[in-house]
Amino acid sequence: MIRNTAIMAGGQSRRFNSDKTMEEVFGKKLIQHTADGISAWSDALVVVAKDCSKYSFLGVPCVKDLSEQQCPMVGILTALKYFNSHVFVVAADTPLVNPEHADRLLKACQGRDAAVPVIDGKMHPLYAAYAPGLIPILEKQIADENYRLTAAFDLSNVVYLYESDILASENEKKSFININTKDDLEMAIDFMQGE
């Protein structure tokens, strides 16, 4: 199974009050932690962003979002069109990605449009696997200016993976921490220190 991976770096960091992808953690930018962890196991890795020049220091190919519209749907579509194959998508502010989760999601996505985890009742579309069959659905949603991923999922063949489908232990929930606030960052740092 090919592990194509795309890091979504197009967010605005509204709740963080500064660009969280560039926040220094243990002497490295937060997005560098995400990229370094994924580079160790991904077959092909790209960053998807509005401004690729900002991430040139990563040494990872960067693909510019296909639209200036600010939403995850655009990033996912950009990644799918770039690879034209199955892709594991993860947010730039998710530094504790587990490769076994990526494998389970990519496997579950075979024959489907998407495989999306639901952990503690919360859906994680930016820690999920997508297939090219979703491209026309996303394109139509964007043309219709309906940017809600759940609306696209309602029109798609999506499989949802719950805790028992994806987690080998309760401890693996740390992989789903995404950093929206300074408190989230402190929690992630605690887990990163234990890695």
Structural domain tally of the chain? 1
Q: What is the pLDDT of residues 154-174, one digit of tens each?
A: 999 999 999 999 999 998 998
Q: Regarding beta strands 87-91 and 4-8, do their DSSP bridges make them parallel or antiparallel, or are they unpaired?
A: parallel
pLDDT tens per residue, range 80-120 = 999 999 999 999 988 889 999 999 999 999 999 999 999 99
Residue 135: strand pairing partners: none
Say if CB 33 and CB 22 are below 8 A apart.
no
Helix 135-143 × helix 72-83 angle, to 10°: 140
Residue 125 C-beta-side C-alpha neighbours within 13 Å: 15
pLDDT value at residue 131 = 98
pLDDT at residue number 194: 59
pLDDT number for residue 182: 66
Residue carrying the six token digits 């690879």: 83
CATH number for the domain spanning 120: value is 3.90.550.10
* Mean pLDDT over the full length of the chain: 90
pLDDT, tens digit (0-9, with 9 covering 90-100), for 29-55: 989 989 999 999 999 999 999 999 999
Q: What percent of the chain has pLDDT over 70?
A: 88
**Band of pLDDT at residue 137, cut at 50, 70 and 90:** very high
DSSP label at residue 144: T
Domain that holds residue 152: 4-193
| pLDDT confidence band for 73 (50 / 70 / 90) | very high
Higher pLDDT, 10 or 23: 23
How far does CA 146 lie from the centroid of its chain?
20
Contact 49, 93 (CB under 8 A): no
Q: Where are the alpha helices (DSSP H) in 84-166?
A: 99-109, 135-143, 149-154, 163-166
Q: Please tell me the predicted confidence (pLDDT) of residue 191.
A: 65
Long-range contacts of 71-75 (CB under 8 A, 24+ apart): 71/147, 72/8, 72/10, 72/125, 72/126, 72/149, 73/138, 73/141, 73/142, 73/147, 73/148, 73/149, 73/152, 74/10, 74/142, 74/147, 75/6, 75/8, 75/10, 75/48
What per-residue confidence (pLDDT) applies to 146? 96
Q: What is the pLDDT of residue 27?
A: 82
pLDDT at 195 over 80: no
